[in-house]
Amino acid sequence: MHLAKANGKWVLPDNGDFAVNEIQVSDFISKVLKIDTSRLVANTAASHTRLKVDDKDFVRRIDLTGGDGKTQSILIGTSPNVRATNVRSTNKDAVYLTGDVTGSDINTDIASWINATYFTANTPDIKALAFANVKGKFDFTRVVTDTWTLTGLAKGET
């Protein structure tokens, strides 16, 4: 998934520049930028595959591109426990254990980054509902609090 800043706003450039949740992106970037490198786990390329931070075998990959066009990539690997995750910068062999970011922080589905709510309404205020498609039209009317009737029912239908 690709997020980018366009005209000062975070968007999905591969999806028509659809707007994403600015606060969520900002919080995520803050987490990534504060990854703690004080807990060294391994310092050899031989350990990368086992910890799932190999260039070709990883749990998640984050590519951060700055305003200067330079990209820094971070590989997120296995989590030996719920509060720690193995991470590695792609240009170094050192692997660190961090609690700052986990694989589950990196959602790869679009719906988790956008406001997917299309419509909301205060349910008790709704007195009627109609919807239609190529198969037909349905009109419902609320008779009492939790009881609705469908307009156009034949005799004996409920």
Segments of the chain scoring below 50 in pLDDT: none
Instruction: With beta carbons less than 8 A apart as the criterion, state whether 156 and 145 touch.
Output: no
For residue 124, what pLDDT is reported? 84
Nearest to 128 by CA among 113, 107, 110, 143: 143
Predicted confidence (pLDDT) per residue in 1-47, tens digit? 899 999 999 999 999 999 999 999 999 999 999 998 999 999 999 99
**18-19, strands of its sheet edge to edge:** 4-6, 9-12, 18-19
> What is the spatial distance between Cα 122 and Cα 117, in angstroms, rounded to a whole number?
14
Is the pTM of the predicted complex or chain greater than 0.75?
no
8 Å CB contact between 61 and 74:
yes
Residue linked to tokens 């660190």: 96
